[in-house]
Amino acid sequence: MSGAGGEGFLSKLVNWVDSRLGLSRPLLRPVPAFAINPLYWLGALTVVAFLIQGITGVIMMLYYVPSPAQAYSSTQYVFQSVYYGRFLETIHLYTAYAMIMLAFMHLMRGYFVSVHKKPREVMWVTGMLMGFVTLGFGFTGYLLPWTVISKSATDVGTGMIAVMPQPVQGFVNFLVVGSGGDAATLLRFYDLHVVVLPAVLLVLLTVKMYMLETHGIAEPETGKALSDKERKTVPIFPDVTLYLLELAAVFGAGMLLISALFPLNLPAAYSAQAAGQIVQQPDWYFLWMYQILKIQAFEGTFAIGSTHIQYLAVALGLVTLLFVALVLLPLLDRSKARRVRARPRFVTLGTIFVAELIVLSVWGYLTPGIQIPNYQAALVLGGTALLVGAASLLLFRAFGKTETGGPASKPSTKGLSDPKRAVFNKASAVIILCALGALAIGSTFQALLSTVLAGATMSNLVFLGLSLTGLVAVCLATMFFVYRTELRRSQIKRRIRFFEWRAG
Partner 1 sequence: MDLVKRVILPLLALQAVSIAAMASLNSLSSTSEGIFAIFLSTDLISFAIIAHIYRVSKADETPSRYFLIPALAAILILLFSSLTIS
Q: Which of residues 259-278 bind partner 1 (CB under 8 A)?
A: 259-260, 263
Length of the chain: 504
295 three-class SS: strand
Binding of residue 219 to partner 1 (CB under 8 A): no
458 binds partner 1, rule: CB under 8 A = no
Q: Please tell me whether residue 246 binds partner 1 under the rule CB under 8 A.
A: yes
Compute the least distance from the CB of residue 23 to partner 1, in Å: 14
H-helix or E-strand containing 132?
helix 121-143
Residue 257 near partner 1 by CB under 8 A: yes
Q: Does 32 bind partner 1 (CB under 8 A)?
A: no
Q: How far is the CB of 234 from partner 1 (least distance, A)?
A: 8
Query: Can residue 253 be called a binding residue for partner 1 (CB under 8 A)?
Result: yes
395/374 Cα distance (integer angstroms):
31
Find, among 50, 70, 52, 44, the residue nearest to 136 by Cα.
Answer: 50
* Cα dihedral value 163, 165, 169, 172, nearest 10: -100
How buried is residue 457: exposed, middle or buried, by Cβ count under 10 Å (0-12/13-18/19+)?
Answer: exposed
CB-based contact 297:377 (threshold 8 Å) = yes
Give the whole-angstrom CA distance, residue 280 versus residue 216: 45
**Number of neighbouring beta carbons within 10 Å of residue 301:** 12
**Amino acid letter, 276:** G
**Residue 92 vs 341, nearer CB to partner 1:** 92
62 is an interface residue for partner 1 by CB under 8 A: no
Which is closer to partner 1, CB of 79 or CB of 124? 79
> Among residues 240 and 360, whose Cβ is nearest to partner 1?
240
Closest CB to partner 1 among residues 10, 454: 10
CB of 253 to partner 1, least distance (A): 4
The site for partner 1, by CB under 8 A, has a size of 31
Q: Could you give the CA distance from residue 80 to residue 66 in angstroms, rounded to a whole number?
A: 18
For the chain, report the end-to-end CA distance as a whole number of angstroms. Answer: 48
Residue 112 C-beta: closest distance to partner 1, Å = 24
Kindly tell me which of 91 and 464 has the beta carbon lying closer to partner 1. 91
Binding test (CB under 8 A) with partner 1, winner from 30, 252, 267, 411: 252
Q: Is there binding between residue 5 and partner 1 (CB under 8 A)?
A: yes
In terms of CB distance, is 85 or 131 closer to partner 1? 85
Per-residue DSSP letter, 340: G
For residue 453, what are the CA distances in angstroms to 86, 366, 395, 448, 450?
48, 22, 38, 9, 5
Strand-pair partners of 147 = 269
Residue by residue, DSSP assigns 17-63 as: HHHHH-TTSTTS--EEGGG-SGGGGHHHHHHHHHHHHHHHHHHHHTT
24/21 Cα distance (integer angstroms): 9
Please check whether residue 54 is in contact with residue 255, taking contact to mean a CB–CB distance below 8 angstroms. Answer: no
Least separation in angstroms between residue 259's CB and partner 1 is: 6
Binding of residue 500 to partner 1 (CB under 8 A): no
Q: Does the footprint of partner 1 cover residue 228 (CB under 8 A)?
A: no
CB of 14 to partner 1, least distance (A): 8
Minimum gap (Å) between residue 6 Cβ and partner 1? 3
Question: Does the protein bind partner 1 through residue 479 (CB under 8 A)?
Answer: no
Region from 61-69, 180-188, 204-212, 238-246 binding partner 1, contact rule CB under 8 A: 238-246
CB closer to partner 1, 36 vs 416? 36
Please report whether residue 81 would count as binding partner 1 according to CB under 8 A.
yes
Q: Which residues bind partner 1 (CB under 8 A)?
A: 1-3, 5-7, 10-11, 14, 81, 83-84, 86-87, 238-239, 242-243, 245-247, 249-250, 252-254, 256-257, 259-260, 263
